Amino acid sequence: MSKFTMGYFTMKEADVLDYATTVLDCFDSHAVLSCKEIGDGNLNYVFRVMDEKAGKSIIIKQAGPCARISDEFKVSPDRNRIESEILQLQHRLAEGFVPRVFKYDPIMNCCVMEDLSDHVIMRRALMEHKKFPFFADHITTFMTKTLLLTSDVMMDHKAKKELVKNFTNPELCEITEDLVYTEPFFDCPRNDVFPPTRGYAEKELWSDEALLLETAKLKFEFMTNAQSLLHGDLHTGSIFIKPDSTKVIDPEFAFYGPAGYDVGNVIANLIFAYENAEATIEDQQEKIDYKGWLEETIIQVMDLFVDKFKELWKEHTTERTAKYKGFDAYYLNNIIRDTAAVAGCELCRRILGIAHVKDITAIEDLEKRARAEKICLSVGKTFILQREKLKSGRDFMSVVKDWEVKIK
Ligand code: SR1
Ligand code: MG
């Protein structure tokens, strides 16, 4: 009997090689394989297994019993089932935008999938000031299809409720409830605040009761609005990219929540890239050019989402009452409002909370980093408070540009 059938254990590189040779049939039986752990996320172990001679490789991703970032987070390895199943569902809904899954192993809590090493992690590429002209088009196709086609507007309601059951993800949702909606908005011991930013956070966020009330409303929206099957963690570190291809990875936070959660995460993380460019590009012309591309991309993410939402709505709405005049605009308006609010929470939590983004922490000049952090916090707060008024990508960008002028 193989050690891989006797019970779960966390694998090291040597175990993964053994696993690839004895359990999988992805490689020739005489192939010489190598294995390297390449994960740099907060939660899991990611191994690349290669047959260099044949030019073949796969990824084996295993969920450990706690998060890599801190063993305070005990998270069930069952999240690997959620990830494997949603990747297969997303492949059916939005073909070409996620890696192919070859196998899910419920004993070892690992999945075997396509290696995307011809792509790069988008956050890193944006920090090197690379442009991706098709990104807005690709990500809005992915989001509209995965979000709308899993909603009650377009699905049989009983089948949708089965998906809600299957993708109930309490532990990972709890991480989001704490890290995104709660801890950034008070002086939580688990926060990790850059000292020059602390005073600003105390004054502008932690003591603003009107803001706190709005974050409470948003947290309850997140916990109770089972609108769409979300990716749940759609930041630029969850996107593999090359100029003509965009692949969304790491959907282990998937669950039924407000559709604007995914859209808002994409927008906030593009804003981090925008502030990284503001702080790190020396040459003025290059800065204007790169920020201009990011600005256009942010605008297009919101606006193409709206266009594609309208097209899909016309083609795929099955629910009778959703066809009543005006309901489409009401529904879309709510998603745009939630997008603004979630972008706001993400902008605040990545600055003050435990899980930062490199776009900001890698800014070496400490004054420039402090300025970038204050801009992100102020934009975040404005997005939350003004969410009913922000209707387009241009509205979002004018908030960002106003704060860049105000914060010196
Ligand atoms: C304990 S996990 C911290 C963060 O990493 C993930 O990517 C999610 O964004 C989560 O909030
Ligand atoms: Mg992740």
* Cβ 58 under 6 angstroms from ligand 1: no
Distance CA 135, CA 125 (A): 12
Q: Distance between CA 31 and CA 100 in Å, rounded? A: 22
Determine whether the shortest distance from the Cβ of 252 to ligand 1 is under 6 A. Answer: no
Helix axes 209-224, 170-179, angle to 10 degrees: 170
Cβ contact 305:137 at 8 Å: no
The whole-angstrom separation of Cα 62 and Cα 69 is 15
**CA atoms of 331 and 337, how far apart (whole Å):** 10
Ligand 1 pocket residue status of 43, Cβ below 6 Å: yes
Kindly give the number of the ligand 1 atom that is closest to the alpha carbon of 349.
11
Residues 6+ apart with CB under 8 A from 92: none
Q: Contact, 99 vs 59, CB < 8 A?
A: yes
- Report in angstroms the alpha-carbon separations of 231 from 22, 147, 253, 313: 32, 9, 6, 20
Ligand 1 nearest atom to the CA of residue 233, by list position: 9
Q: Read off φ and ψ for residue 256, nearest 5 degrees.
A: -85, 115
Ligand 1 contact via 355 beta carbon (within 6 Å): yes
Residues, Cβ < 5 Å to ion ligand 2: 41, 250
Whose CA is closest to 316, among 154, 145, 158, 156?
A: 154
CA distances from 207 to 187, 201, 203, 388 (A): 10, 9, 6, 22
Per-residue tens of pLDDT for the chain, all 408 residues: 789 999 999 999 999 999 999 999 999 999 999 999 998 888 899 999 999 999 999 999 999 888 888 888 888 888 999 999 999 999 999 999 999 999 999 999 999 999 999 999 999 999 999 999 999 999 999 999 999 999 999 999 999 999 999 999 999 999 999 999 999 999 999 999 999 999 999 999 999 999 999 999 999 999 999 999 999 999 999 999 999 999 999 999 999 999 999 999 999 999 999 999 999 999 999 999 999 999 999 999 999 999 999 999 999 999 999 999 999 999 999 999 999 999 999 999 999 999 999 999 999 999 999 999 999 999 999 999 999 999 999 999 999 999 999 999
Q: How far is ligand 1, taken at its centre, from the CA of residue 78, in Å? A: 16
Beta bridge partners of 37: 47
**What residue's CA is closest to ligand 1, atom 4?**
355
Domains detected in the chain: 3-114 (3.30.200.20), 120-406 (3.90.1200.10)
Q: Which atom of ligand 1 is nearest to the CA of 250?
A: 7
Q: Which amino acid is at 114?
A: E
